[in-house]
Amino acid sequence: MNGQEVENFCRRMKLTPSPYITAALKTDTELSAEGLNLLFAYYNVNQPQLLNHIKVETLLIYGTFKDVNDKEKKRTEQAVTTVNTYKAPIKTIAVEGGHYVLWEDDFPWSDVRQFLTAGIIKEE
């Protein structure tokens, strides 16, 4: 993938280009039989049903797909609305962008840190 392709990808996904994104896009991934089986299992499982059975506190950070993909934006809104009706202890946080929001500078790392350290008492 050349520099122009990286720029086009970042523009399409509403990302700020960075060396990390360039390296991630230029790195080929290997697909094994085990990996393919995992993908098939993942796509065939009823994810909302599984989420409804979560017993531990869970943080779900998702991309809104705003200005990225209108069809996926609507699907995501419906899915999050459904998840928010569950009695499972799931906290949701929206991040502007699409699937690759974790690559964006404004990813809510402070919320992740707070979620992971909630209830932990610092030793002095």
Q: Are residues 15 and 68 in the same domain?
A: no
Q: Are residues 31 and 59 in the same domain?
A: no
Tell me the backbone φ, ψ of residue 89, rounded to 5 degrees: -80, 70
Q: Are residues 14 and 37 in the same domain?
A: yes
The alpha-helical segments, DSSP class H, found in the chain are 3-13, 19-26, 33-44, 47-51, 70-83, 109-117
Number of domains in the chain: 2
Q: Tokens for 18, please give them.
A: 């960075």
Q: Are residues 59 and 39 in the same domain?
A: no
Q: Which of 45, 64, 80 is the last residue of a domain?
A: 45
Q: Which residue, 11, 104, 115, 22, is CA-closest to 63?
A: 104
Per-residue pLDDT of the chain (124 residues; tens, 9 = 90+): 788 899 998 888 888 888 888 888 888 778 888 888 888 888 888 877 888 889 999 999 999 999 889 999 999 999 999 999 999 999 999 998 888 887 877 789 899 999 998 865 555 4
Q: Is 92 helix (H, G, I), strand (E, B) or coil?
A: strand
Q: Are residues 26 and 60 in the same domain?
A: no
| Domain coverage including residue 23 | 1-45
Q: Are residues 35 and 89 in the same domain?
A: no
Q: Are residues 39 and 24 in the same domain?
A: yes
